[in-house]
Amino acid sequence: MSESTSARSAEPRPDDPEPIRAVPLRHPGRWISGAIVLIALGLFAWGAATNEAYRWDIYARYLFDARITAAAWKTVQLTVLAMAIAVVLGVVLAVMRLSPNPVLRSVAWLYLWVFRGTPVYVQLVLWGLFPSIYKQIDLGIPFVHQFVHIDVQGLNAAFLFAVIGLALNEAAYMAEIVRAGITSVPEGQLEASTALGMSWSQTIRRTVLPQAMRVIIPPTGNELISMLKTTSLVAAVPYSLELYGRARDISGANFQPIPLLLVAATWYLAITSLLMIGQYYLERHYSKGLSRQLTARQLQALADAQNVPVAEAGKPTPKPGAPGEEHI
């Protein structure tokens, strides 16, 4: 194309419509509502900072107290141990519910019915009364010979009972989460695994569960955060060395419940924030390949493979013109 032709095409013609003058829409309501919210937050913060009932000096004194930090570590231990047991048991229960064996299905359904139908606080109270219900546990051959005798009443195992109580309750919810993830896998994957000669258990373990993780991870992260806050109920066992129980004991000694509750809430919020960050990266890991949009790292790898700049990576290579075709 010659320069004169391109110049003539760039000149406006008399019959061309006038160019559109785009004017951005104004949203005064957004600014007004945002200003109202900011003013309300500022007033609340100022009121909390100047209210003597909060006793911020007591709050600062106990925020990093050795007893509080130790209790926060106990809370993390309770959360991690109970959640680990719940995940393993939840997977087993979910597989049992989907099993073709009617006995396994019935037992799994009965477990979910009991533990989902009763409050977790009531279950923890019963675990606290476990030494009164079962004073001694005998292990061996029933009605023949007992090899091990465990004196339950002599055990000082409030932490263990708290972990078991939380884990068994959470396993019922994890079973439904895992079952939903398994059923989200297309049936074609099951048929392909069967065609390859895999057994039912191999199909679940090698084909279904790895693909179901994308659906399982988000609600599991929510359950982990919920478990962290549910540990405040283990006083029903009774176990009081976790975060809320320790803050309550200290406030009972200095008669300052409000700042100690704020201390406990701050630690819960800090631990929850860390768990949310971990959940974000875990979800991103298991969602690889779900979106067609390439990440920055994938674009860089593709650009290096094609030996082109990153901006041109992934673009289709132009096909050469037909013989005799003139390129403009």
Which of 52-66, 112-126, 176-190 has the lowest average pLDDT?
A: 176-190
Q: Could you tell me the pLDDT band of residue 327, with boundaries at 50, 70 and 90?
A: very low
Domain ranges of the chain: 70-242
Residue 125, pLDDT score: 92
* Rounded Cα gap, residues 41 and 33, in angstroms: 12
Which pTM does this prediction carry? 0.73
Confidence check: pLDDT of 319 > 60: no
Determine the average pLDDT of the residues in 275-289: 78
Q: From the CA atom positions of the chain, what is the Rg in Å?
A: 31
Dump pLDDT digits (tens) for 79-118: 999 999 999 999 899 988 988 888 999 999 999 999 999 9
Q: Could you tell me the pLDDT band of residue 13, with boundaries at 50, 70 and 90?
A: low
| Residue with the larger pLDDT of the pair 73 and 200 | 73
DSSP 216-280: HHHHHHHHHHHHHHHGGGGGGTT---SHHHHHHHHHHHHT-HHHHHHHHHHHHHHHHHHHHHHHH
Determine the average pLDDT of the residues in 235-243: 89
Confidence check: pLDDT of 261 > 90: yes
DSSP 95-154: HHHTSS-HHHHHHHHHHHHHHHHS-HHHHHHHHHTHHHH-SEEEEEETTTEEEEEEESTT
Architecture of the structural domain at 70-242: Orthogonal Bundle (1.10)
| Residue with the larger pLDDT of the pair 57 and 206 | 57
Residue 231, pLDDT score: 92
CA-CA-CA-CA torsion for 319, 323, 325, 328, nearest 10 degrees? 50
Determine the average pLDDT of the residues in 74-83: 94
Q: Could you tell me the pLDDT band of residue 324, with boundaries at 50, 70 and 90?
A: very low
Residue 27, pLDDT score: 79
Q: Could you tell me the pLDDT band of residue 328, with boundaries at 50, 70 and 90?
A: very low
